[in-house]
Amino acid sequence: MHPLDPIFKPQSIAVVGASRRPGSIGREVLHNLIEYDFHGKVFPVNPKADFIHSIKAFPTVTSIPDPVDVAVIVVPRDEVPAVVDDCARKGVKGLVVITSGFAETGEEGRKFEKQLVEKVNQYGMRMIGPNCMGVINADPEIRMDGTFAPALPLEGRIGFMSQSGALGVVILNMARELDIGFSYFVSMGNKANTSGNDLLLYWEDDPLTDLILMYLESIGNPVRFMQIARRITKHKPIVMVKAGRTGAGARAASSHTGALVARQGLDLATDALLDQCGVIRVNTVKELFDLALAFSKNPLPRGNRLGILTNAGGPAIMATDAAITMGLEVIKLSEGTAAGLRKLLPPEAAVSNPVDTTPKASPRTFAACARLLLEDDGIDSLLLIFVPPMMISPTDVVAGIDGVRREFSKPVLGVVMATENAFDELNQKQPGHMALYHFPEPAVYALATMERHRHWRERPVGEVRQFPAEREAARQLLEAARARGEVHLSTPDAFRLLECYGIPVARSAVAASIDELEIQAKQVRFPAVLKAIAPGLVHKTEAGGVAVDIRTLDELLTAARRMSEAVSAHAVAAEGATPSSIPTGFLLQEYMRGGREVIVGMTQDPNFGPLLMFGLGGIYVETVKDVTFRVPPLTDVDAREMIRQIRGYRLLEGVRGEPPIDFEALAVILERFSQMVGDLPQMAEVEVNPLMVFPAAADFCAVDARVRLGLPNGD
């Protein structure tokens, strides 16, 4: 037996705090359990009443003569610990604590919650909540509605977990209207003992749950979430509304990576994390339902070729536009299919894709056309668009298509552009009907998302590879810099660090003065690049701290003099001259021509820890902002996807006859970078920009790198 079974598959339930007052939460929970016809025993517990809701009540849990699997607790907060003790004496294994007033209220509540959790753990119980709306198991063998939500749920194959109780109520209401049913519905509350991850694991192999929906405000343990979700999404889709998209806020950032994250102000880390584990993130509850409808009522498509069957031109054009924008193909029909349609339809009908039947088509003709389209091997999914003419009922049309679609394992979605009354009638007369939408775009969005999810399922899992590295040397280098009180590594140290992880760097030499530069110049071939070194200098180009294509020693010395003045002047203008922004030396490098510039970076997200970035680099990075993010560790597949996802991928492939860069070598650099970030939590930010990439891996080199140190404990 699973430890959560007493909560979700009980044979007997005590409602502790079942109240005599109609309308109170305690009363509503009891009422729902009875109304939903729980297949087991229900015991109201209330010391002040003999009976509640016509049912014999007990003063305490221990006084109940029968065994009790789960207690739904609805007593005032201060009474909760004593009730839990009583439950333990009775041998109750599961608790659902609806009572609020815990960690959500502040410090005192947090302490109270901590004590409650300790008690629950000590007794070896499992608990949902506190501060939750309750739980539902709609399995016909169980039928437990232990919530106080007014709408009783329909039975279905969706597991839903919500961190917000109020939203849970709304979702249950809306789901009924949309004919969406649940296997489980769980209001998680404060997730004090049972987390979203625990519930995911519980549903992973649950035969009654095909689709998981989540409304979350926080992901408690992102690393564990990633491991679990990655596995589950390979056989069950997970769709999540993650609230709190904004709010990363501006944070101190001295790198492009950090600045891009802060400036976008978006929850990039969550996006990256969910993307990496195949979880479909939506922004709104509406989108959640749009997808829930499609996923719960259809198989996944086998490809992206869409057939559209309509009785009105305009909406079909809208659907076609949306489909193409979202990556679906509105293909040409086979000649056989077109000929078959021609026989069924009047001469003015269009038998290309979209197939426009004209408003005259009867429900039977519609169904016959749908059959022909579904029989066509060139079509992976079908979208029906129906604008009801006076004499034809949408219910009849949907019933006709429903009769046909079940014979095929292809998704069929419907758009019925009709009033709510028509949908009510449909729900009543045609329960379990196909996924229906009011407008074409949400239906197309759902189909395109299903297609993307199919890609995810078929995508290889990938592996996190370990490369030979000088880990200890890298660690010592960071510790030594910290011991010297440095916040940023010097450029030579940053280069050395990259070399420890096999990331190639440009041949370079360092000089503390112009005189020394003259000597060092012998080590580097011309043409060369000269860069100012100043510990606090962040954006060298803007400060006049970079000179390229230097061809002679004379040019070099002139450039160095000019650079000293420019960087000092820039420092004074920008911030008043601080010692850290005045140049302390020069870095001389070979000038790498003909390469393409990319950026590889890492910044720390306050919730998730390190976040990796890859994109087009050089001076364009902040203007073009063509970057992708991932949470480490990167698998080999992640690294390759990260590269493919940027808009500038074409540039790396080569335009106007240029050869492509060595993508394999670039992907390995990303994997090595990810390994370095994982090994060295002392780093707060790292940025390799630009990394020059070429058709030949041997030419790859980082020409600039910045490493900011964090606190000793890795913060």
Q: Do residues 667 and 470 make contact, with C-beta atoms less than 8 angstroms apart? A: no
Q: Is 136 in the site for ligand COA (CB under 6 A)?
A: no
Q: Which 3 state secondary structure label does DSSP give 559? A: helix
Q: Which range touches ligand COA (CB under 6 A), out of 93-101, 178-186, 280-288, 682-690?
A: 93-101
b/e code 27-40 from CB counts within 10 Å (16+ = b): bbbbbbbeebebeb
Q: Do residues 183 and 212 make contact, with C-beta atoms less than 8 angstroms apart? A: no
Size of the site for ligand COA (CB under 6 A): 28
Determine which helix (DSSP H) or strand (DSSP E) holds 560, and give its type and residue range: helix 553-575
Q: Do residues 589 and 525 make contact, with C-beta atoms less than 8 angstroms apart? A: no
Q: Looking at 49, 201, 538, 624, which residue binds ligand COA (CB under 6 A)?
A: 49
Q: Is 62 in the site for ligand COA (CB under 6 A)?
A: no
The residue (of 149 and 677) whose beta carbon lies closer to ligand COA is 149
Q: Which 3 state secondary structure label does DSSP give 306? A: strand
* Tokens standing for residue 242: 């993650």
The residue (of 187 and 491) whose beta carbon lies closer to ligand COA is 187
- Between CA 436 and CA 413 the distance in angstroms is 6
Q: Looking at 7, 33, 74, 613, which residue binds ligand COA (CB under 6 A)?
A: 74
End-to-end CA distance of the chain, in Å? 41
Q: Is 188 in the site for ligand COA (CB under 6 A)?
A: no
Q: Looking at 4, 7, 14, 16, which residue binds ligand COA (CB under 6 A)?
A: 16
Q: Is 24 in the site for ligand COA (CB under 6 A)?
A: yes
Class of residue 21 by CB neighbours under 10 A (exposed 0-12, middle 13-18, buried 19+): exposed
Report in angstroms how near the CB of residue 272 gets to ligand COA at its nearest.
30
Q: Is 75 in the site for ligand COA (CB under 6 A)?
A: yes
Q: Is 19 in the site for ligand COA (CB under 6 A)?
A: yes
Q: Which range touches ligand COA (CB under 6 A), out of 75-83, 211-219, 415-423, 523-531?
A: 75-83
Q: Is 133 in the site for ligand COA (CB under 6 A)?
A: yes
* Tokens standing for residue 434: 């196909």
The residue (of 14 and 563) whose beta carbon lies closer to ligand COA is 14
* Tokens standing for residue 538: 């962040």
The residue (of 285 and 538) whose beta carbon lies closer to ligand COA is 285
Q: Is 520 in the site for ligand COA (CB under 6 A)?
A: no
Q: Is 97 in the site for ligand COA (CB under 6 A)?
A: no
C-alpha angle 573-574-577 in degrees, rounded to nearest 5: 70
Q: Which residues is 155 bridged to in the sheet?
A: 182
Position 137, amino acid: N
Report in angstroms how near the CB of residue 123 gets to ligand COA at its nearest.
17
Report in angstroms how near the CB of residue 144 gets to ligand COA at its nearest.
18
* Tokens standing for residue 350: 């269009």
Q: Do residues 195 and 224 make contact, with C-beta atoms less than 8 angstroms apart? A: no
Q: Looking at 6, 10, 29, 99, which residue binds ligand COA (CB under 6 A)?
A: 99
Q: Do residues 125 and 73 make contact, with C-beta atoms less than 8 angstroms apart? A: no
Q: Looking at 11, 20, 224, 663, which residue binds ligand COA (CB under 6 A)?
A: 20
Q: Is 26 in the site for ligand COA (CB under 6 A)?
A: yes
Report the site for ligand COA in 249-278 (rule: CB under 6 A): none
The residue (of 47 and 207) whose beta carbon lies closer to ligand COA is 47
Q: Is 401 in the site for ligand COA (CB under 6 A)?
A: no
- Between CA 159 and CA 136 the distance in angstroms is 10
Report in angstroms how near the CB of residue 120 gets to ligand COA at its nearest.
17
Report in angstroms how near the CB of residue 169 gets to ligand COA at its nearest.
8
Report in angstroms how near the CB of residue 112 gets to ligand COA at its nearest.
12
Please tell me whether the peptide bond between 130 and the residue prior to it is cis, using omega within 30 degrees of 0: yes
Determine which helix (DSSP H) or strand (DSSP E) holds 452, and give its type and residue range: helix 440-458
Q: Looking at 42, 68, 72, 83, which residue binds ligand COA (CB under 6 A)?
A: 83
Helix 636-645 and helix 663-679, axial crossing angle in degrees, nearest 10: 120
Report in angstroms how near the CB of residue 188 gets to ligand COA at its nearest.
10
Q: Which 3 state secondary structure label does DSSP give 317? A: helix
The CB-nearest residue to ligand COA is: 165
Report in angstroms how near the CB of residue 388 gets to ligand COA at its nearest.
40
Q: Is 132 in the site for ligand COA (CB under 6 A)?
A: yes
Q: Is 44 in the site for ligand COA (CB under 6 A)?
A: no
Q: Do residues 437 and 466 make contact, with C-beta atoms less than 8 angstroms apart? A: no
Q: Is 146 in the site for ligand COA (CB under 6 A)?
A: no
Q: Is 98 in the site for ligand COA (CB under 6 A)?
A: yes
CA 198 remoteness from chain centre: 18
CA trace torsion 517, 519, 522, 523 (10° rounding):
-70
Q: Is 77 in the site for ligand COA (CB under 6 A)?
A: yes
Class of residue 78 by CB neighbours under 10 A (exposed 0-12, middle 13-18, buried 19+): exposed
Q: Is 701 in the site for ligand COA (CB under 6 A)?
A: no
Report in angstroms how near the CB of residue 452 gets to ligand COA at its nearest.
33
b/e code 366-379 from CB counts within 10 Å (16+ = b): bbbbbbbbbbbeeb
Q: Is 92 in the site for ligand COA (CB under 6 A)?
A: no
Q: Is 454 in the site for ligand COA (CB under 6 A)?
A: no
Q: Is 604 in the site for ligand COA (CB under 6 A)?
A: no
Q: Looking at 15, 30, 45, 436, which residue binds ligand COA (CB under 6 A)?
A: 45
Q: Looking at 5, 79, 636, 679, which residue binds ligand COA (CB under 6 A)?
A: 79
* Contact map string, positions 200 to 239, toward ligand COA, x by CB under 6 A: ----------------------------------------
Q: Is 135 in the site for ligand COA (CB under 6 A)?
A: no
Q: Is 307 in the site for ligand COA (CB under 6 A)?
A: no
Q: Is 25 in the site for ligand COA (CB under 6 A)?
A: yes
- In the block, tokens 């030949």 appear at 696
The residue (of 49 and 464) whose beta carbon lies closer to ligand COA is 49
Report in angstroms how near the CB of residue 571 gets to ligand COA at its nearest.
55
Report in angstroms how near the CB of residue 29 gets to ligand COA at its nearest.
9
Q: Which 3 state secondary structure label does DSSP give 374? A: helix
183 phi and psi angles, rounded to 5 deg: -90, -50
Beta-carbon neighbour count of residue 162 at 10 Å? 27
Q: Is 48 in the site for ligand COA (CB under 6 A)?
A: yes
In the 3-class helix/strand/coil scheme, how is 210-263 assigned residue by residue? Answer: CEEEEEECCCCCHHHHHHHHHHHCCCCCEEEEECCCCCCCCCCCCCHHHHHHHH
- In the block, tokens 């969005």 appear at 445
* Tokens standing for residue 530: 């000269």
Q: Is 94 in the site for ligand COA (CB under 6 A)?
A: no
Q: What is the DSSP string of 658-700?
A: PPPP-HHHHHHHHHHHHHHHHH-TTEEEEEEEEEEE-SSGGG-
Q: Do residues 698 and 615 make contact, with C-beta atoms less than 8 angstroms apart? A: no
Q: Is 109 in the site for ligand COA (CB under 6 A)?
A: no
Report in angstroms how near the CB of residue 136 gets to ligand COA at its nearest.
14
Class of residue 51 by CB neighbours under 10 A (exposed 0-12, middle 13-18, buried 19+): exposed
Report in angstroms how near the CB of residue 137 gets to ligand COA at its nearest.
18
The residue (of 17 and 278) whose beta carbon lies closer to ligand COA is 17
Q: Is 486 in the site for ligand COA (CB under 6 A)?
A: no
Beta-carbon neighbour count of residue 215 at 10 Å? 24
The residue (of 98 and 643) whose beta carbon lies closer to ligand COA is 98
**Residue ranges that bind ligand COA, judged by CB under 6 A:** 16-17, 19-21, 24-26, 45-49, 74-77, 79, 83, 98-101, 131-133, 165, 187
